[in-house]
A and B are shown apart, each in its own frame.
Chain A
Amino acid sequence: MSVPALELIGLKKSFGKAEIIRGIDLSIGKAERHAIIGPNGAGKSTLFNLITARFPPTAGTVKLHGEDLAGLQPFQINRKGLSRSFQITNIFPAMTVFENVRCALLWAQGYKYSFWNLVNRSRDLTEGAEKILDQINLLERRDLPAGTLSYAEQRALEIGITIAGGADVIMLDEPTAGMSHSETDYITDLIMKVTEGKTLVMVEHDMGLWPCGPDFRPGLRRDHRHWRAR
């Protein structure tokens, strides 16, 4: 059997006496797309933050492609092929839309901390960023400061930034939160399109508005603050 893309083993998290997550075992295969559904306060975002090392877990292990992520910094996890979005829109507001995406490409294209390359000289960077912008339908907004985009466009941009680096495990934290119906349709289409062939783990409040194909199934259910794979 092949190694799962993401594996959680006995994952626990408490804040003081409050046990938020009481032991999750979950295995997500390559190119599977999962959604984690639950009401507010169920611990969805906490789970998310545990996987992406925003907080350390109280107990348990997170494995990415079979590799333990314990003790790694967010940027190290990203380099191993996991990319995430945030519940509150998290972009670079003072930079242009194009630059936002280009920054997301830099590490993936191997520039690291280079100060001997000029970013506007690189065709790969410009074309790569424009390709992503086209995918998220923001090519026309290219030169606007990202902070001036509409809410739905900012969310789309964040998804663009999240996928730009070519990570094969994509995690989206409530990508449709606070959106109208038509905006939700737009963003769900977009997510389905850009995550094709990738492993997707998504947190959502409810999936009512999602075009739930066979791909999508509620992966977890809250049961007295106890999470279990279905």
Chain B
Amino acid sequence: MSNTELPKGARPEEQITTDPSRAAQRMRAGSMTLTMLPWIVAAILLAMLPYIFTSNSALTIMNQMWITVVFALAYNMLLGQGGMLSFGHAVYAGVGGFACMHIMNMSDFFASFPLPVLPVFGGLFGMGLALIVGSFSTRNAGTVFAMISLGVGELIAACSVIIVAFFGGEEGISGDRTYAMPFFGNEFLQQINVYYLTAFWMLLSAGLMYLWSRTPVGRMANAVRDNPERAEFLGYSARWVRFFSFVASGFFAGVSGALFAINYEILTEENLNTASSGVILLVTFLGGVGFFFGPIIGAIVFTLVQTVLSLQTELWAFYAGTLFVLTVMFFPGGLAGLLMMHVPAFRLGKAGGLIVPYLKTLLPGAIGVLAVCGLVEMVFHVRHASTGDHEMTLFWTTFDSHAILPWVIFIGVAVIGLGIARTTAPALRDAWNEANTAGGSA
């Protein structure tokens, strides 16, 4: 419709305000249920998981997962939403955690409130540090911010052996969570109690961080990430917007540190160092920085690799690193981006047509990749097992790693598997194009 034709008196907006507002109301009502649904599902799932995975080690793994989820989401407030690449974000989690350890050791104070309140203190200490560092580091995004974050991260990690009173030197600081005021008679003696505490705080933090992304300052963080100069000409100081994101991110990083303190009852230099900061970057990127839920996927996948896979192989870090490099090179949107790529096909109702081509390509491909991993494991075994130890167990079979036959089999399976995947890949590509085209022959 052309509004230029309208006479001067009749403002075009008067014509349209009713319609869009109704549409907007509809949309708002619809999005309310739609946005609440995943949270309710998540809450039910979190409550039920301990009944499915009952062992203590499963609880420990899940706790580790939720701690990483909080930290990764906090990190993504900077990286994905604010466009700030930090190489030293572990210090905010670490300082929050150390502060909580000290609170645990102040027995009178610690006994005056129940344990589930402790993460608030972790958050406040993380936020306090972020207030100080953010006041100068958020002046710029990009390289300057990244370098300052690295420098500050190194500085504080180095302090851990210098300021022994706070960081406890090489042994770190340990404490006992059970000295808190009992929470409805609960002293958090058992892993399951800690599980629910951690899960509750994870859900709460994730919800708050999601809401943050819907606030004016959260929206402007995106705008500043995309185009700081334009944002300035909309009345917003890019620096202040970055600063607020940074402080909020520091708070939630601190919460994750507190959850770590509650779970492990010890913090060391490892919680502060660049390696930990690197891991959280890796986790977040692997999950996908472009979507809010990306870091959650990243945290779950990475924790599984770190815990479950590390029980199977000493080379887990190698596989995690390979996964990261492949993600950066081929799927910069991360796992979340990979999932969301399929949304158009679902909208068109054509996702079903992808199942068979996917199976035809991914199944042989996966077998081929597993065979390649098998070869890697065999090379590792031949090089690193003690002399005379020729026996290795892989994929539930035990064989002689120095014999020819296993090598021939693994090479054969790898070549055949990857070969089949290669020949069926064009069909998958066609199916993909077909599934993403509206109308057509289907």
Contacts and interface: CB of A to CB of B under 8 A. Distances in A.
Interface residues of A, number: 47
B235 A79 contact: yes
A61 interface: no
A78 B234 contact: yes
Interface string B184-218: 00000000000000000000000000011011111
A117 B216 CA distance: 7
Contact of A165 (B3, B12, B225, B234): B234
B233 A113 contact: no
B16 A130 contact: yes
A141 to B, nearest CB: 14
A127 interface: yes
Interface stretch (B20-28, B114-122, B160-168, B347-355): B20-28
A2 interface: no
B216 A113 contact: yes
Contact of A130 (B24, B218, B240): B24
B211 A73 contact: no
Nearest to B231: A103
A126 B21 contact: yes
Contacts of A139: 16, 20
B273 to A, nearest CB: 31
A121 interface: yes
* Most chain A beta carbons < 10 A, residue from B212, B217, B230, B233: B233
Nearest to A103: B223
A134 B13 contact: yes
Given A131-B16, A134-B3, A74 B229 contact: yes
A127 B24 contact: yes
Nearest to A85: B233
* Interface residue range, chain B: 35 or more
Interface string B1-30: 001100000001100110011001000100
Interface stretch (A11-19, A26-34, A63-71, A89-97): A89-97
Interface string A73-89: 11100110001101000
B219 A102 contact: yes
A86 B229 CA distance: 10
B226 A135 contact: no
Nearest to B238: A75
Contacts of A137: 3
B12 A135 contact: yes
A230 interface: no
Given A78-B232, A94-B226, A103-B223, A130 B216 contact: no
Given A52-B233, A120-B214, A131 B226 contact: no
Interface in B212-253: 212, 214-220, 222-223, 225-227, 229-238, 240-241, 244, 248
B56 interface: no
Contacts of B215: 114-119
Nearest to A99: B219
A92 B221 CA distance: 11
A118 B214 contact: yes
A106 B236 contact: yes
A91 B232 contact: no
Given A95-B226, A111-B216, A131-B16, A118 B24 contact: no
Nearest to B215: A115
A123 B21 contact: yes
Nearest to A82: B233
A116 B293 CA distance: 22
Given A75-B238, A130-B17, 5 more contacts: A86-B230, A115-B216, A115-B217, A118-B214, A134-B3
Interface of B: 3-4, 12-13, 16-17, 20-21, 24, 28, 31, 211-212, 214-220, 222-223, 225-227, 229-238, 240-241, 244, 248
The 6 A-B residue pairs with the shortest CB-CB distance, nearest first, are A107-B235, A111-B216, A92-B226, A74-B232, A130-B20, A78-B235
25 contacts: A73-B237, A75-B232, A90-B227, A90-B229, A92-B223, A92-B226, A103-B219, A103-B223, A106-B236, A107-B235, A113-B216, A113-B241, A114-B217, A115-B244, A115-B248, A126-B28, A127-B20, A127-B21, A127-B24, A130-B24, A134-B3, A137-B3, A139-B20, A161-B230, A193-B3
